[in-house]
Amino acid sequence: SSYDFYLFIPFTPRCFHLNLVPFEGVITAESRALHDTLNIVGLVGSIDNDFCGTDMTIGADSALHRIIEATDAITTTAHSHQRCFILEVMGRHCGYLAIVAALASEADWVFVPESPPSDDWQERLYRRLISVSVEKDRYGILIHSYL
């Protein structure tokens, strides 16, 4: 995949305005001569929220919002059709989206890469779905973070 890199270069020495300049990996002598200092800031764009040292990456909140919208819609359908639904979300090796979506939507089960299921997960899941359908008069929502 290709990435676009840009330099943000101030119009004035006080840096109140920024100029977006395509960056091709080399700071030219001309660019260096125009500016005494050059501050480069990198922002991580990952919907997985899997970058260490950040609270939230660009795109993670939007992805989470869409997942919760979809889960809300599926919950209504699961109840009206008396079915269990599995929602598979992006995640690679990070279950952030799956866990937060499960908490926000009160999902009945969540699978994440950080916590592989126990050996008896099928029996435990079956018991959980039966209890949810009997006690709460609703049908299960499972969220799975795929690799």
The domain segmentation of the chain, as residue ranges, is 1-42, 60-145
pLDDT for 97: 92
pLDDT for 8: 52
Does the pLDDT value for residue 100 go beyond 90?
A: yes
3 state DSSP class of 19: strand
Q: For all residues of the chain together, what is the average pLDDT?
A: 79
- At residue 7 the predicted structure's pLDDT band, cuts being 50, 70 and 90, is low
Does the pLDDT value for residue 39 go beyond 50?
A: yes
The alpha carbon torsion through 43, 48, 51, 52 (nearest 10 deg) reads 140
Does the pLDDT value for residue 40 go beyond 90?
A: no
Bridge-partner residues for 145, per DSSP?
Answer: 89
pLDDT for 38: 64
Does the pLDDT value for residue 15 go beyond 60?
A: no
Lowest mean pLDDT among 42-56, 66-80, 86-100, 125-139: 42-56
pLDDT for 70: 93
Positions annotated as catalytic residues are 48
Does the pLDDT value for residue 69 go beyond 90?
A: yes
CA-to-CA distance for 72 and 68, rounded, in angstroms? 6
- Percent of the chain, pLDDT > 70? 75
- Which one-letter DSSP state was computed for residue 118? P
Residue 119 CB partners (closer than 8 Å, separation 6+):
none
For residue 47, report the phi and psi dihedrals to the nearest 5 degrees.
-75, -15
Domain 60-145 has CATH 3.40.50.460: yes
